[in-house]
Amino acid sequence: MACQGYIFYPGTLLAGPWLSCADFLAFIAHTGAWASTSQPLPRARLHVLRCCVLGVVFLGLHSTFAPKLPDRAFLSSGWVSHSLGFKLLYMWAMAFAARCKYYFVWLWAEAACVASGLAWSGTDWSRCRNIQPAGVELATSAAVLASVWNTRTGLWLRHYVYERVAPPSRGPAPFWALLLTQTVSGVWHGVYAGYALFFLTSTLMFHASKVLFRYQRNLAGNVRRISDFAHGLLTAFHLSYSAAVFIAVTLPASRAAWASVHYLGHVSMVGICLLGALVPAGKRREGGAREDAPVPASGGRRKLT
């Protein structure tokens, strides 16, 4: 019965967030983080209310703008006549409208987990936090983006795919480990061309972001802030460019979307990766920033319990 409860738990069944079976069993047995009965219930009520209100706001945004930004525009006769700036802005707006749907689903799932007590981590209600909308929209790199989007699924991918093929004890992970991880993520979304293209492209996006971070890590002051801002703009562009095919799904629409902007996303990603191979960045100075993790993780490399 416990395993059935874990599989069919309403707060995580349809779209996540993922939780380990060990955590769920501890929750129903009132052990571990749930052994204490002095949980801050007033804070829980406020957290649930915040998630529900924000979720409704994002649902309203999605319902308002998504119908006005259809992916079929890529196949329309007038699409190619628009300016490059219009096409890029359209892709960004369409991707934002689509993201709002996920913000709603995951915020309400988090609210359900908090209301039941399952989200208690021992110190706060972050165990089931799967999305941070502000973090996604203002991400300064692809690695930061990965840490605030579908966080719990990212944790599963890190522990059960990424670190299985590239254990941390062996040093920096090779590019193929990230490629394999993103391929696994793409396969479970479905066998559509748009999904495959998105996740394969996201591998390049993450790797390019790592290259840029290596150049940034020894910067400081205003120069670092300017570089973070520029990296953030590039991340927003790469995300909306890649997400266009995830939304379009079909191969003809995906090809039309990318071709209409001259494959600028791929050109920039590949160019950055080649730059990193030809002009290696300097070594990290003492006390400098550490390299961002290429695969999303929640709570670092902690052991699952």
pLDDT per residue as tens digits for the range 95-122: 999 999 999 999 999 999 999 888 988 8
Q: Give pLDDT tens digits along the chain (305 positions).
A: 677 788 777 777 767 788 888 888 888 888 888 887 555 555 788 999 999 999 999 999 999 999 999 999 999 999 999 999 999 999 999 999 999 999 999 999 999 999 988 898 888 899 999 999 999 999 999 989 989 999 998 888 988 898 888 887 776 677 788 888 888 888 888 888 999 999 999 999 999 999 999 999 888 889 999 999 999 999 999 999 999 999 999 999 999 999 999 999 999 999 999 999 898 876 765 555 555 444 543 333 333 32
- The reply to whether 236 falls in a domain is yes
| Co-location of 254 and 285 in the same domain | yes
Do 105 and 244 fall within a single domain? no
Could you tell me if 24 and 56 lie in one domain?
yes
Catalytic residue among 47, 62, 189, 238: 189
Nearest to 103 by CA among 148, 153, 59, 156: 59
pLDDT on residue 175? 79
> By the 8 A CB rule, do 175 and 161 touch?
no
pLDDT computed for residue 302 by the predictor:
34
Final residue belonging to a domain, choices 134, 156, 171: 134
DSSP state for residue 125 in the 8-state scheme: S
Residue 3 lies in a domain: yes
Q: Are 84 and 193 in the same domain?
A: no
Q: How far apart are CA 100 and CA 92, in angstroms?
A: 12
Amino acid at 64: T
Structural domain includes residue 301? no
C-alpha–C-alpha distance, residues 159 and 77, integer Å: 46
Instruction: Let me know whether 49 and 188 are in one domain.
Output: no
Same-domain status, 171 and 112:
no
Q: Based on the structure, what is the number of domains in the chain?
A: 2
Same-domain pairing of 52 and 166: no
126 in a structural domain: yes
Q: 120 and 197 share a domain?
A: no
| Contact (Cβ atoms closer than 8 angstroms) between residue 17 and residue 106 | yes
Angle between the 264-278 and 221-248 helix axes, to the nearest 10 degrees? 130
Partnered with residue 131 across adjacent β-strands are: 149
Answer yes or no: do 214 and 232 share one domain: yes
Q: Quick one: 30 and 123 in the same domain? A: yes
Quickly count: other Cβ atoms within 10 Å of residue 251's Cβ: 14
260/77 Cα distance (integer angstroms): 12
Residues whose CB falls within 8 Å of the CB of residue 207, separated by 6 or more in sequence, listed in order = 175, 178, 269, 273, 294
Q: Are residues 118 and 220 in the same domain?
A: no
Q: Does the annotation mark 30 as catalytic? A: no
Does residue 277 lie within any of the structural domains?
yes
Residues 148-200: tens digit of each pLDDT: 999 998 888 988 898 888 887 776 677 788 888 888 888 888 888 999 999 99
**Domain hosting residue 254, numbered range:** 142-292
Chosen domain end from 117, 134, 151: 134
- Domain endpoint, select from 118, 134, 150: 134
Task: Please indicate, yes or no, whether residues 199 and 286 belong to a single structural domain of this protein.
Answer: yes
End-to-end distance of the chain based on CA atoms, in angstroms?
20
